[in-house]
Amino acid sequence: MTKKDKLVILDFDHTLFNTEVFKRHLKNAYLSYGISSERYDQTYNYIRKKLKRPYDPALHLRLLDGEIVDLKSLMGEVNYLVDKSKDYLYDDVVTFLEDVKDECDLNLVSLGKKRFQKPKVDNCRMNGYFSRILLTEGQGGLKKEVFKDIICENRDKKIAIIEDMPENIDYLKRGFPSITAIKIERVGAKYAEEKAELNNFTIKSLYQASNIIKCIL
């Protein structure tokens, strides 16, 4: 089999990127500029649940304008965190990508507000490993549709997905039983305790994924 016959589709948040720690550091920045933890959570949830939008600091900062001690400096701190997003990549990511890049075609799928998510992904400096990077701004439901489209376009290939969200894994396995679904459960990550029903493998880190991909695909 050649590289072109194998495709691994990877998710970004909680899979490659330590989103929990990044989110905590982002929140801490707001706290140091006079926003209480409760107020932060309240407005964060307003964006996510009421407005039903992916998280967007530009919008969050606008909502809290007037309550923040020094808006410009806080913006600078938020941008600084985005600039150093590479620090939040899990430490097995580059090793994994290096390990499989010559054997598989790699795609990346991520959900988030593009003006926030794109620089975050770009600054991780791993774009060169991926033949395609697809960012979507829709609610969770839409990300699985992006996965689905990629799978449909590559039906002639052997495909593995690495994703943390159980709902997405089950949805994709139901539609495409022949794909290999690897559920990653990072310590402390959002969906680590929530089980999928149809995943083929469960892993704690990407070190295990290399072996699975090399044996199965």
Phi and psi dihedrals of 35, rounded to 5?
Answer: -90, 130
Q: How far is CA 203 from the centre of its chain?
A: 16
Quote the least distance from Cβ 90 to Mg ion, whole Å. Answer: 12
Six token digits for residue 211: 């072996």
- For Mg ion, which is the closer residue by CB, 15 or 35? 15
CB of 110 to Mg ion, least distance (A): 8
Q: Provide, rounded to whole angstroms, the least separation between the CB of residue 16 and Mg ion.
A: 9
Q: Of 64 and 107, which has the nearer Cβ to Mg ion?
A: 107
Q: In the 3-class helix/strand/coil scheme, how is 108-126 assigned residue by residue?
A: EEEECCHHHHHHHHHCCCC
Of 13 and 92, which has the nearer Cβ to Mg ion? 13
End-to-end CA distance of the chain: 9
Nearest-approach distance from CB 34 to Mg ion, in angstroms: 31
Q: Where does this chain bind Mg ion (CB under 5 A)?
A: 11, 13-14, 164
68 φ/ψ angles, rounded to the nearest 5 degrees: -90, 135
HEC secondary structure over 41-96: HHHHHHHHHHCCCCCCHHHHHHHCCCCCCCHHHHHHHHHHHHHCHHHHECCCHHHH
Distance of alpha carbon 159 from alpha carbon 164, whole angstroms: 17
Q: How far is the CB of 102 from Mg ion (least distance, A)?
A: 26
Q: Which is nearer to Mg ion, 105 or 164 (CB)?
A: 164
> Cβ of residue 91: shortest distance to Mg ion, in angstroms?
18
Nearer to Mg ion, 99 or 164 (CB): 164
Give residues with Cβ within 8 angstroms of 5, minimum separation 6.
156, 157, 158
Q: How many CA atoms lie within 13 A of 5 on its CB side?
A: 6
Q: Judged by CB, which is closer to Mg ion: 149, or 194? A: 194
